[in-house]
Every structure is written in C-alpha cells, then in structure tokens.
Amino acid sequence: MVFLSVNDLDVQYQSQGKKVHAIDHISFSLQEKESIGIAGESGCGKSTLGLAIMKTLQENASVSGEILFDGKSILAIPDPEFTKNIRWKQISMVFQGAMNSLDPVFTIKKQFEEILKKHDFHEDYKQVIESAISSVGLPRSVLDKYPHEISGGMKQRVVIAMALILKPKMVIADEPTTALDVLVQAQIMTLLKNLKKSGLGIMLISHDLGIISEIAEKIGIMYAGQIVEFGLLSDIYKNPKHPYTFALLNSIPSLNNTTKITSLKGSPPSMTNLPSGCRFYDRCPQAMEKCKKEPPKVMTSSGFVMCWLYE
Amino acid sequence: MAGESGSGKTTIARMILRAIEPDSGTVNFEGQEITNQQDHLRKIRLGCQMVHQDPYASINPRMTVLDIVKEPLDIHSIGNKKERNKLVLQALSQVNLEPVEEITAKYPHMLSGGQRQRVALARAIVTKPKVVIADEPVSMLDVSVRIGVLELMKNLQEKLKISFLYITHDLATANYIGNRIAILYLGKIVEIGPINEILSSPRHPYTQALIDSISYPDPENLKRDKKIHINDPIDVDVYQGCRFRARCPYAIEKCKQEPLLEEISEGRQVACFVKIN
C-alpha cells in the first residue's frame, strides 16, 4: 500500500523581492514501513521538503501540488484539523539542530508535558513520557534534569523521544546526527535503526550517503530543488544513473585505498538565479548540447532519473 | 590528527603557533625551540601557516582576494610591490583559482565556499611555508566540493613539499591525505603511527570504536547491525588513569593508572594496557 505519496510538489519562497524556487515539482512515493533517505547538499531544498510535509513552512512560502499521507491529502486539510489529528500523532519531525532548542529553564519532563498539553492528550502523562524516554535508551532520571546537565547525544535522544511520544507512523529526521561526535553519531544511527525495525517509517534527510544506507530502502537524490534520481537504494548505490549521483558516491574516501575517488568541479547554482535546462549542466562531465533543455524524467527499474543520457 | 570535539586538536594547533601559551613542554621547529622571543615567533609564524575551518569567517569580507592573499607578504615584508603581486598570482594559480587576474579583484561574497577555502589555502602557501596546519578545512564545505579541496592539498604537499598537519574528526579523509596519524582523546594522544597500519589494525579501543562508527554508502548496511564497542555511561569524563576507561568495554583494574605511550612497532605508539588485537 502506498503510504506517502508526493505528487508534483512545488515550493517557492518570496525573499527580498526575489523568488527562491526551493522545491521544483518533485514527486515520489513510499510504501508502508518503508524508509526513505533524502540526500543532497546544503540549499538543495531537502529541509523544505520535510517542512512542507509537516505543513510548518514559513508564511513567505507558497506551496502547490499534492501530498497524500495514509490516503489523506495533507495540503487540503485545514491547519487546525491537521494539528489536531495528524501532526505529531501520525507524522512527526526531528528538526535540524533541535537539541539546541530545548528550553534551558525547564526540566526535560516539563518539556515533554508541554507537547502532550498542546496536543490535547488526556491519558496518563507519566506513563507515555516514561515509555518514550526508555524507547530511546535513556534512564528515567534524565526527566528531572535540565538540558545543560546532559550531553549532546542525550539531548538528541530526548528530541527523538519527543517526536515519538504520540506514537506516529512516520518520523521525518532532518540531519539528526550532524554536529554530534562520531561515536555518538553512530549510537543515534543504531537507535534509529532499531526504531525502524520496530515498524516506524523514517524519512532521513542528510547529506551523508553513508548514514542513509543504514536505514533507508529508498533514496531521493536532490540537486538544486529537484529530485534528480529516485528509486531503491540498492539499485542506485550499485548502479547510479544520474551523473550527480555517480559523482556523490565517488567523492567519498574510504579507509582502504582501493577505490578511486573523483572530484566535481564548480558548485551548485544559486537558487535565486537557476539556469534553464538541466541544473547540473555546468558541472556535469557528460553534458551535451541537448542538456540545455529541461531534462526528461526517465523511468528506471525502481524509480526515475532526470537526465538526457537515458532518453 | 584525529579526535572528537573537545579532544584538544585545535588547541595543539594554536600552541604550535603560540597563539596560546603552553603550561609546560616545548615546540621545536626546524631544530630550534620556539619561545616567546620576537624572532622565534616570526620564524614559526612565517614557516608554519594555518587554514581554518570556516572559510566564511576566516577571510575578511571587506578585502579583495588580492589583498587577502598578499597580507602575509606585507606582514613579513617579503619582496617589493611588484614581486608580491607576482607571488599572489602564482599562489592563486597553484590552488587552481582561474582565471587568476579576474579572481584577484573579487570580494569574498562573490565566491563559493570551495573557492573561499582555496583563497585561504593560497594565503597559507604564498609565503612558501614548511608546514600548513589545516584545521577541519573541508567540514564546512558541500560534499561535492570537499574532495576537490582535499585533492588540492595533496597535490600541494607533493609538488611544493609542504608538510600538512590535517586536523579532522573524519578518519576517511585523514587517510586520503595523511601518512601518519595521531588519535586524540580528551587531550591525550592514545595512538600514533603510520596511518594505514593504524586504520587496518587499531590497537587502542578508542581507535577501534572510531573506525567502527563510520558508515560507508553500502546497501548491505540496512540488513547489518551496527556494532560499536563502547559503553555508554552517564558520566564519561575521567581525568585520572586512562581517560577512555568509562566508555571502554575492555577496561581492567590496571586502567585506573595512567597508561603511557609505548612503542609497539617501528614508529608506532599506543597508550593502552590492554592493546586489543
């Protein structure tokens, strides 16, 4: 069953008189209990995608297209109803850098209670909070602490527990391990892996293709506001089709020196001044004359690629 | 030099350049102890240059690229005006910022992150230093530009015979450009030696945990369990005996004493009583 389906989603920000086309008509779908990774560099629109699904975009954003979550069209649901029935109850989010937004003057427990109050939760607070905190492998004693008393890794777990507290079916995690130390990073990934095994759908937004492969069956590669390649992670990692995907996978050094790594020239285009045609044109080692025109969306065995090479 | 945040990597770099005063111990550069004497400071600050982590903060937004790269030459009074300009152009072409003439007139806001870091590198090599200290030079850059900057550093090292002290938390990129590696934990070197030996057969449990924690892009990861051999206590900072003790799954009674670096093979030292294998 299709669980999440994003059809022709388009988001534009209005900023200082300029239009920023953060998400340009993207589409993909996900089955129940499947997890997806959204990979791309800074400014490619991956966080905007997460925020659009949560309906938490800023006011200067205009959204069009359709997001179907569990059969319901999210964008068509009025905001109060979305807050009441879906946000945090069906789908929740671990925001980027969220561990730094814990309120320093309240205990962790108070901050959990605030979420429950906001979402009109009337059952036993104590029990759900304790089960959430133990689901992320933290001792109950953490609840009585203030944010400054616990480490970065523990704060990140608290934030993940907050996202899980109302037992959503899906969690969007935006760079959940960035800014954490390497060992702690790996521990958080292990935690997400276990949560996934227990049936949670995860959308992992990251620039790190390595950590995405720890939990995602499917992956979307974003470049300058578009998903340029989408499909099963195993297909894409073994046989990347888009030259950008290929370059990303080949730019990662490993501990054994056998793999040859290649670098990409140039940098991503400015989102306020996007080139027409293929957005990767300037940097693509295989660019051709026809790449100056908008690339076609070509179906692959498990998804699609936006590239003239496969037309 | 690899280690997590707070392990002292940057402090070591700053002490080498005498931006901070060590409490004890010495720094020797080209056979000479560096003290607070003016000529010593000049010597180390000319022969040893630094590239910082954030290229958006480390170059002055109100200076042109020409002035930024020329500044070390001005400070150390190298050459006359014409020679300085020539050296700047040379350095910029060595870091592959082309067309050179066009770049010199630009301001930092007109450059991308990768280009800025190349400007910082050009500024570091313009005085023809013996050593460049690069403190997390690629961690702020986009993934697709990272490897280009690393490649460049590697080329500069080979072509200009500059030694690099590459400070990072990323063992894979360290392996890409390094010959030797020192693993730091809470202000102590726990393992040091040839990089390929250490990464292929780590002897310190902390080094092992660091290696285990790396995720490569591999579809098989999904099915595999991730195993990292560390304990997860609430209070991890220990400053007596082995500092890794609380997190170490191999800790023994003896670890309450301070382990010293001891040589285990040629050029390789490890500070651990257990020495996993």
Per-residue pLDDT in tens (0 to 9) along chain B, 277 residues: 999 888 899 999 999 999 999 999 999 999 999 999 999 999 999 999 999 999 999 999 999 999 999 999 999 999 999 999 999 999 999 999 988 999 999 999 999 889 999 999 999 999 999 999 999 999 888 888 888 999 999 999 999 999 999 999 999 999 999 999 999 998 999 999 999 999 999 999 999 999 999 888 999 999 888 888 888 765 655 678 899 988 899 999 999 999 999 999 999 999 999 998 8
Q: Which carries the bigger pLDDT value, residue A263 or residue A20?
A: A20
- B170 and B202 share one domain: no
Are the beta carbons of A41 and B222 separated by less than 8 Å? no
Whether residue B188 lies inside any domain: the answer is no
CB contact under 8 A, B225 and A193: yes
CA dihedral over B250, B253, B257, B260, signed as positive or negative: negative
Does A182 contact B236 at a Cβ distance shorter than 8 Å?
no
- pLDDT tens across A99-138, in order? 888 999 999 999 999 999 988 888 899 999 999 999 998 9
**CB contact at 8 A, B213 and B202:** no
Say if B276 falls within a structural domain.
no
Q: Which residue segment(s) compose the domain that B169 sits in?
A: 9-178
Collect all residues of chain B within an 8 Å Cβ-Cβ radius of residue A181. 4-5, 169
Q: Are A115 and A88 a contacting pair, CB within 8 Å?
A: yes
What digits encode the pLDDT tens for the residues B139-193?
888 888 888 999 999 999 999 999 999 999 999 999 999 999 999 998 999 999 9
Three-state DSSP string of chain B: CECCCCCCHHHHHHHHCCCCCCCCCCCEECCEECCCCHHHHHHHHHHEEEECCCCCCCCCCCCCHHHHHHHHHHHCCCCCHHHHHHHHHHHHHHCCCCCHHHHHCCCHHHCCHHHHHHHHHHHHHCCCCCEEEEECCCCCCCHHHHHHHHHHHHHHHHHHCCEEEEEECCHHHHHHHCCEEEEEECCEEEEEEEHHHHHHCCCCHHHHHHHHCCCCCCHHHHCCCCCCCCCCCCCCCCCCCCCCHHHCCCCCHHHHCCCCCEEEECCEEECCCCCCC
Interface subset of B 170-229, CB within 8 angstroms of A = 170-173, 175-176, 196, 199-200, 209-219, 221-222, 225-226, 228
DSSP code of residue A185: H
Contacting residues of B for A280, CB less than 8 Å apart? none
Distance, in Å, from the CA atom of B56 to the CA atom of B45, rounded to the nearest integer, reads: 22
CA distance A39 to chain B (A): 11
Adjacency order of strands within the sheet including A18-31? A18-31, A2-15, A61-69, A72-73
Subunit contact A182:B4, Cβ cutoff 8 A: yes
Give the DSSP per-residue string, A67-95. Answer: EEETTEEGGGS-HHHHHHHTBTTTEEEE-
Domain A2-302 has CATH 3.30.750.210: no
Q: Is B3 part of a structural domain of the chain? A: no
Q: Which residues of B touch A213 (CB under 8 A)?
A: 215-219, 221-222
- Listed in sequence order, the residues at least 6 apart from A303 whose beta carbon sits closer than 8 Å to its beta carbon are A28, A218, A229, A230, A231, A232, A235, A236
Element (H, E) at A238: helix A233-238
Report the domain count for chain B: 2
| Cβ separation B175–A255 shorter than 8 A | yes
B62 belongs to a structural domain: yes
Give B169's contacts in chain A (Cβ within 8 Å): 181-182
Assess if residue B2 is contained within a domain. no
Kindly list the domain boundaries of chain A, sorted by start residue: 2-302
| Nearest neighbour of A264 by CB, restricted to B115, B148, B219 | B148
Q: For the complex shown, is ipTM > 0.90?
A: no
Side-chain half-sphere CA neighbours of A222 within 13 A: 30
Is residue B150 within 8 angstroms of chain A, CB to CB? yes
- Which residues are CB-contacts of B122 (< 8 A; sequence separation ≥ 6)? B69, B88, B91, B92, B94, B95, B97
C-beta atoms of A214 and B226 within 8 A: yes
Chain A residue numbers touching B151 (CB-CB < 8 A)? 263
Q: Which of A207, A255, A271 to mutate to test the interface with B (most CBs of B within 10 A)?
A: A255
Residues B78, B158: one domain? yes
- Residue where a domain stops, chosen among B150, B178, B206: B178
- The neighbouring-strand residues paired with A2 are A31
Mean pLDDT of chain A: 92
Instruction: Specify whether B63 is located in the same domain as B151.
Output: yes
Out of A208, A215, A268, the one facing B222 most closely (by C-beta) is A215
A12 three-class SS: strand
Same domain, B219 and B136: no
**Final residue of a structural domain among B178, B202, B237:** B178
Q: Tell me if B183 is assigned to some domain.
A: no
**CB burial of residue B227 (10 Å; 0-12, 13-18, 19+):** exposed
Calpha distance A226→A27 (Å, rounded): 9
- CATH code of residue B120: 3.40.50.300
Query: Is there a single domain that holds both residue B217 and residue B253?
Result: yes
What span, in angstroms and rounded, lies between the C-alpha atoms of B79 and A223?
A: 46
> Is the distance from CB of A301 to CB of A288 less than 8 angstroms?
no
B81-94 and B113-125 are packed helices; what angle lies between their axes, rounded to 10 degrees? 130
Q: Which of B236, B228, B235, B230 is nearest to B186 (CA)?
A: B236
pTM (2 d.p.): 0.89
Residue A21 neighbours by CB under 8 Å, 6+ apart? A10, A11, A12, A225, A271, A274
pLDDT of A27-75, one tens digit each? 999 998 899 999 998 889 999 999 999 999 988 999 999 999 998 999 9
